[in-house]
């Protein structure tokens, strides 16, 4: 019997505002595979369950998440992540929901559910998977692993530029504070904290363009 074609998994981890989502979409396009924005999964859960869900009992959270079903459609920049067959609402992208997601992400039953759902998606679909714990916890056997980092100030500036490009108000001080708070929560939680996998390639994006980051990563993926 012919063996099933191997699934390619490339992991991109790093802090908020480092440029993972843009890179994931472009890299997936170059490789002709889908990308998985795992932050969007946490954001969708936080938005659907609402503020304060991180204080609910583990049993209730588990029961609510049991009703969730994430699926992927398409590839490259046209990849769509669906929840219950529906596209995720734009509201999940707000700074407020980002902070909720970071708070919800410390809850053990939430992490367990997300890990299971992400592994399930990666069993049948080649992926560029981006998040905080892709290379360390969810896909420890990934084909290639990258950890992106950049100065917090530069990340806040990029986030401001992104919001301004969308015609939205951008308050640098507030965004920098939000990034600081999320960095602190994401790096210091006890389960699956943000850190590079021992075998990840580290890329500091502070002083290089998006195009240069893509080239660096592609060189490793294609050469390896
Ligand atoms: O990547 P993002 O900013 O959209 O993620 C939102 C929050 O979700 C982030 O602050 C922490 C959490 N998250 C996580 O804990 N693990 C992941 N793999 C992805 C996101």
Neighbours of 103 (CB within 10 A): 21
Neighbours of 53 (CB within 10 A): 20
Block means of pLDDT (10 residues each) for the chain, 224 residues, are: 77 95 97 98 98 96 97 97 97 94 96 98 97 97 98 94 88 94 93 96 96 97 84
Determine the pLDDT at residue 2. Answer: 60
Tell me, rounded to whole angstroms, the distance of Cα 166 from its chain centroid: 21
Nearest CA to ligand 1 atom 20: 39
Q: For residue 41, give the nearest of 69, 60, 64 by alpha carbon.
A: 69
Determine the pLDDT at residue 5. Answer: 60
Any atom of ligand 1 within 6 Å of the Cβ of 98: yes
Nearest CA to ligand 1 atom 3: 16
Any atom of ligand 1 within 6 Å of the Cβ of 146: no
Any atom of ligand 1 within 6 Å of the Cβ of 16: yes
Determine the pLDDT at residue 1. Answer: 60
Determine the pLDDT at residue 168. Answer: 86
Any atom of ligand 1 within 6 Å of the Cβ of 107: no
Nearest CA to ligand 1 atom 5: 39
Cα(52)–Cα(60) distance, integer angstroms:
13
The HSE-up count of residue 163 (CA atoms within 13 Å, CB side) is 17
Cα(109)–Cα(68) distance, integer angstroms:
13
Which atom in ligand 1 lies closest to the alpha carbon of residue 40? 4
Nearest CA to ligand 1 atom 6: 39
**Whole-prediction pTM:** 0.94
Query: Residue 11: which region, alpha, beta or left (left: phi > 0; alpha: psi -120 to 50)?
Result: beta
Determine the pLDDT at residue 162. Answer: 86
Sheet of 80-83: strands edge to edge? 70-73, 80-83, 86-87
Any atom of ligand 1 within 6 Å of the Cβ of 95: no
Q: So where are the chain's domains?
A: 9-221
Superfamily of domain 9-221: P-loop containing nucleotide triphosphate hydrolases (3.40.50.300)
Determine the pLDDT at residue 4. Answer: 56
Instruction: Report yes or no: 11 and 195 within 8 Å, Cβ to Cβ.
Output: no
In angstroms, what is the span from residue 1 Cα to ligand 1's centroid? Answer: 40
Nearest CA to ligand 1 atom 11: 102
Cα(199)–Cα(191) distance, integer angstroms:
19
């Amino acid at each position: 019997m012919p063996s099933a074609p191997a699934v390619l998994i490339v992991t991109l981890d790093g802090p908020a505002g480092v440029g993972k989502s843009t890179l994931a979409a472009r890299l997936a396009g170059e490789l002709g595979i889908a990308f998985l924005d795992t932050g969007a999964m946490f954001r969708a859960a936080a938005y659907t369950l609402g503020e304060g869900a991180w204080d609910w009992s583990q049993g209730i959270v588990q029961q609510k998440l049991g009703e969730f079903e994430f699926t992927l459609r398409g590839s490259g920049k046209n990849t769509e992540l669906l929840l219950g067959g529906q596209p995720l609402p734009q509201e999940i992208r707000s700074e407020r929901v980002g902070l909720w997601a970071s708070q919800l992400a410390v809850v053990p039953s939430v992490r367990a559910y997300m890990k299971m759902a992400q592994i399930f998606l990666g069993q049948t679909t080649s992926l560029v998977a981006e998040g905080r714990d892709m290379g360390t916890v969810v896909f420890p056997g990934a084909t290639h692993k990258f950890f992106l980092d950049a100065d917090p100030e530069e990340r806040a500036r990029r986030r401001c530029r992104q919001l301004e490009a969308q015609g939205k108000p951008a308050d640098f001080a507030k965004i920098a504070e939000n990034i600081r708070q999320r960095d602190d929560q994401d790096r210091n939680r006890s389960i699956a904290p943000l850190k590079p996998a021992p075998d990840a390639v580290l890329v500091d994006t502070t002083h290089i363009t998006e195009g240069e980051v893509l080239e660096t990563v592609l060189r490793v993926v294609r050469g390896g």
